[in-house]
Structure 1
Amino acid sequence: MKLGFVRHGQTQWNLEGRLQGSSNIPLNGTGRAQAADAVQVLAGGNWDVVVSSPLDRARQTAQIIADGLGLELGPSYELLVERDYAQGEGMIEAEALERWPGKIGGGIEPLESVVARGRRAIEQIMEDFPGKNVAVVCHGTIIRYTLSDFAGYTLDTIRNGSVAVLGQDEAGRLRLELVNDQVPAAR
């Protein structure tokens, strides 16, 4: 079993540097192209199903990927939604950081909560698709910090449309195999 995490393609708010959290912003043209590019990275990975966050940008990306891989689009998981930016929603990131250093305050969801949701989502997906290879389309913060938790170090960034893979070792433990379409450097 392996899980391939794909960050949704670019939206206008990504382009503008806005915190979009739970706002339902659609993909832009670049985002649709990034989703198509992700198909090339995922090709040959023997994927069984594509699932996603229920937010439009993730579902649109997932549909493009499912179509490109010749798979039916699977379910969405509420646990995979982006970090709740509360009062920071829609703000330019620099403005939010000035107002709430480290994005702490203003009702912004703590990173510990994001990681806990990410881990619960992984458990649910593994339960729903035992032994299957699942491509999971969701959001940058949940991917970055959940996979950082698995890796044991903080990943710098997760690019729009990029692929990260968690695979199982012989003992059944999940390990990070790919980040931003590349094998991660040893740390």
Structure 2
Amino acid sequence: MQIALVRHGQTDWNKTLRMQGTSDIPLNETGRGQALEAAVLLSDEHWDAIVSSTLSRAAVTADIIAERLGMPVLERDVALIERAYGEVEGLTKAQATERFGTEWPGEESYEALQERAVAAVDAVAARHGVEHLVIVTHGTFIRAFADAVTGLETRTPRNAESIRFEGEPGAWVPSEGMVLV
């Protein structure tokens, strides 16, 4: 099985470097264009199904990709949402650090995110049982998944960038697009 983990397109909060987390911030016009560019790149390959996070920035990115590929989005899964940043959502990292230091109230730990990301991708892949699956989700979620399955430190993908893995639930290996820090 091959999966493409696609980060959603840009939002205004991405542009101003604000922490989004579970806040439901919509795509901006640049983000819609990025989603279409991702769709064009994906259309050069065969994909069997598309799923996404329930947050609108990922859902709309998935809708744009699905339209280009001529298939529906099969599922919106809350388990695919971004890392929760608690009380610092809407702030820049500098503002969050100034206000709270390095311990942010309500933040999901990176380890918990890694476990959730692997479990979510495994569950979605097992549920849909297709050979080629597009999963539209979030940057830190994708990095956490990649770090967990490889045991390496990777970078957060850019908006609308895809990272590919091959394998099966419980046994994923990177195949394309992953960048080590």
TM-score, normalised to structure 1, is: 0.89
Partner of 1:27: 27
CA RMSD of aligned residues (A): 1.8
Partner of 1:145: 144
CA contact (8 A) 1:100 1:106 kept: no
Deviates more, 1:38-47 or 1:158-167: 38-47
Residues 1:176 and 2:174 are matched in the alignment? yes
SS at 1:157's partner residue?
coil
Tell me, in whole angstroms, the C-alpha distance in 2 between the residues paired with 1:30 and 1:5.
20
Deviation track 1:89-123 (CA, whole Å, cap 9, x = no partner) reads 1111222234332xx43221101111111111112
Deviation track 1:157-187 (CA, whole Å, cap 9, x = no partner) reads 2100101011128xx93111122xxx657x9
TM-score, normalised to structure 2, is: 0.92
Look up the equivalent residue of 2:111 and give its one-letter code: E
Runs of 4+ in 1 over 6 A off after TM superposition: none
Deviation track 1:127-181 (CA, whole Å, cap 9, x = no partner) reads 2111431100010111011112122211122100101011128xx93111122xx
Tell me, in whole angstroms, the C-alpha distance in 2 between the residues paired with 1:40 and 1:178.
17
Query: Where do residues 130-169 of structure 1 align in structure 2 (5 Å cutoff)?
Result: 130-168=129-167
CA contact (8 A) 2:88 2:104 kept: no
Identity level (%): 36
Tell me, in whole angstroms, the C-alpha distance in 2 between the residues paired with 1:18 and 1:184.
23
CA contact (8 A) 2:154 2:179 kept: no
CA contact (8 A) 1:84 1:108 kept: yes
CA contact (8 A) 1:86 1:109 kept: yes
Deviation track 1:34-68 (CA, whole Å, cap 9, x = no partner) reads 10111122123311111000000000000000011
Look up the equivalent residue of 1:175 and give its one-letter code: V
Partner of 2:84: 84
Deviates more, 1:82-91 or 1:127-136: 127-136
Tell me, in whole angstroms, the C-alpha distance in 2 between the residues paired with 1:72 and 1:2.
18
Tell me, in whole angstroms, the C-alpha distance in 1 between the residues paired with 2:45 and 2:167.
14
CA contact (8 A) 1:177 1:184 kept: no
Tell me, in whole angstroms, the C-alpha distance in 2 between the residues paired with 1:41 and 1:88.
34
SS at 2:19's partner residue?
coil
Partner of 2:109: 110
Query: Where do residues 110-129 of structure 1 align in structure 2 (5 Å cutoff)?
Result: 110-129=109-128
